[in-house]
Chains A and B, each alone.
Chain A
Amino acid sequence: MDFFDTFPAMDRQGLRDLKKGIDSSFREFSRSYGEGIEDFFEPLLHFLVWLEKLLINAPWPVVIVGIAILAWLGSRSWKLVAGTVIAFLVIGYFGMWKDTMATLAIISVATLLCISFGIPLGIWMARSERVQLAITPVLDVMQTIPSFVYLIPVVMLLGIGKVPGLIAVCIYAIPPLVRLTNLGIRLVDKEVLEAADAFGADNRQKLFGVQIPLALPNIFAGVNQTIMMSLAMVVIASMIGVKGLGLPVLRAVSNQYLALGLLNGLAIVVLAIIFDRVSQAYGRRLQAHREGTGHD
Chain B
Amino acid sequence: MTNTKIKIKNLYKIFGSNPKNAMEYVRNGLSKQDLLEKHSHVLGLRDINIDISEKCISVIMGLSGSGKSTLIRHINRLIEPTEGEVVIDGDDVLAMSAEELRDFRRNKASMVFQKFALFPHRSVIQNAAYGLTIQKIPEKEAEERSQHWIDRVGLSGFENHYPAQLSGGMQQRVGLARALTTDAEILLMDEAFSALDPLIRTDMQEILLDLQSELNKTIVFITHDLDEALRIGDDITILRDGEIIQQGSPQDIVMRPSNDYIADFIKDVNRSRVLLVRSIMVPADSENGPKIGMNIPLEEALSQLSSKQAMEGSVVDSEGKVVGKLDLSTAIEAIRRPERSSNDLQYR
State the A residues within 8 Å of B (CB).
189, 191-192, 194-202, 205, 209-210, 213-214, 287-290, 292-296
Q: A289-B164, A293-B164, A294-B165 are in contact. Are A199 and B120 (CB under 8 A)?
A: no
Query: Within the assembled complex, what's the spacing in Å between the Cα atoms of A289 and B121?
Result: 6
Please give the distance in Å from A127's CB to the nearest CB on chain B: 16
19 A-B residue pairs with Cβ-Cβ distance under 8 Å, sorted by A, are A192-B118, A194-B113, A195-B113, A195-B119, A196-B119, A198-B78, A198-B111, A199-B182, A200-B101, A200-B105, A200-B107, A200-B134, A201-B102, A209-B133, A214-B120, A289-B122, A292-B162, A292-B165, A295-B166
Q: A191-B115, A192-B119, A210-B119 are in contact. Are A197 and B105 (CB under 8 A)?
A: yes
Q: Which of B309-335 contact A (CB under 8 A)?
A: none
Please give the distance in Å from B265's CB to the nearest CB on chain A: 28
1/0 contact string of B95-137 vs chain A (CB within 8 Å)? 0000001111111001101010111111100000011011100
CB contacts (< 8 Å) of A198 on chain B: these are 76, 78, 105, 110-111, 113, 188
Give A296's nearest chain B residue, CB to CB: B165
Q: How many residues of B contact A (CB 8 A)?
A: 36
Query: Within the assembled complex, what's the spacing in Å between the Cα atoms of A289 and B127?
Result: 13
Check: B167 CB closer than 8 A to any chain A CB: yes
Query: Within the assembled complex, what's the spacing in Å between the Cα atoms of A296 and B158?
Result: 10
Is the CB–CB distance between A202 and B78 below 8 Å? Answer: no
Of B76, B119, B123, B135, which is in contact with the most chain A CB atoms at under 10 Å from its CB? Answer: B119
- The 8 Å CB contact of B167, one of A199, A210, A288, A295, is A295
Is the CB–CB distance between B117 and A194 below 8 Å? Answer: yes
Check: B161 CB closer than 8 A to any chain A CB: yes
Give B175's nearest chain A residue, CB to CB: A195
CB contacts (< 8 Å) of B104 on chain A: these are 200
- The 8 Å CB contact of B117, one of A192, A213, A294, is A192
Is the CB–CB distance between A205 and B121 below 8 Å? Answer: no
- The 8 Å CB contact of B165, one of A189, A199, A295, is A295
State the B residues within 8 Å of A (CB).
76, 78, 101-107, 110-111, 113, 115, 117-123, 130-131, 133-135, 158, 161-167, 178, 182, 188
Query: Within the assembled complex, what's the spacing in Å between the Cα atoms of A292 and B166?
Result: 10
Give B107's nearest chain A residue, CB to CB: A200
Please give the distance in Å from B221's CB to the nearest CB on chain A: 15
Is the CB–CB distance between B120 and A192 below 8 Å? Answer: yes
Give A287's nearest chain B residue, CB to CB: B121
Is the CB–CB distance between B121 and A200 below 8 Å? Answer: no
Query: Within the assembled complex, what's the spacing in Å between the Cα atoms of A268 and B76?
Result: 56
8 A-B pairs closest in CB distance? A200-B106, A200-B105, A195-B117, A289-B162, A198-B111, A191-B117, A200-B102, A293-B164
Query: Within the assembled complex, what's the spacing in Å between the Cα atoms of A287 and B161?
Result: 13
CB contacts (< 8 Å) of B167 on chain A: these are 295
CB contacts (< 8 Å) of B133 on chain A: these are 209
Is the CB–CB distance between A194 and B78 below 8 Å? Answer: yes
Give A294's nearest chain B residue, CB to CB: B165
Query: Within the assembled complex, what's the spacing in Å between the Cα atoms of A59 and B165?
Result: 48
Please give the distance in Å from B187's CB to the nearest CB on chain A: 11
Known: A209-B133, A214-B120. 11 other contacts (CB 8 A): A191-B113, A192-B118, A196-B130, A198-B111, A199-B134, A200-B104, A289-B120, A289-B162, A289-B164, A292-B165, A296-B158
Is the CB–CB distance between B121 and A213 below 8 Å? Answer: yes
CB contacts (< 8 Å) of B161 on chain A: these are 296
Query: Within the assembled complex, what's the spacing in Å between the Cα atoms of A214 and B119?
Result: 9
Query: Within the assembled complex, what's the spacing in Å between the Cα atoms of A205 and B111?
Result: 18
Is the CB–CB distance between A199 and B106 below 8 Å? Answer: yes
CB contacts (< 8 Å) of A192 on chain B: these are 117-120
Give B133's nearest chain A residue, CB to CB: A209
Q: A289-B121, A289-B162, A293-B165 are in contact. Are A199 and B115 (CB under 8 A)?
A: no
CB contacts (< 8 Å) of B103 on chain A: these are 200
CB contacts (< 8 Å) of B78 on chain A: these are 194, 197-198
Please give the distance in Å from A130's CB to the nearest CB on chain B: 18
Query: Within the assembled complex, what's the spacing in Å between the Cα atoms of A213 and B120?
Result: 10
CB contacts (< 8 Å) of A195 on chain B: these are 111, 113, 117-119
Is the CB–CB distance between B164 and A290 below 8 Å? Answer: yes
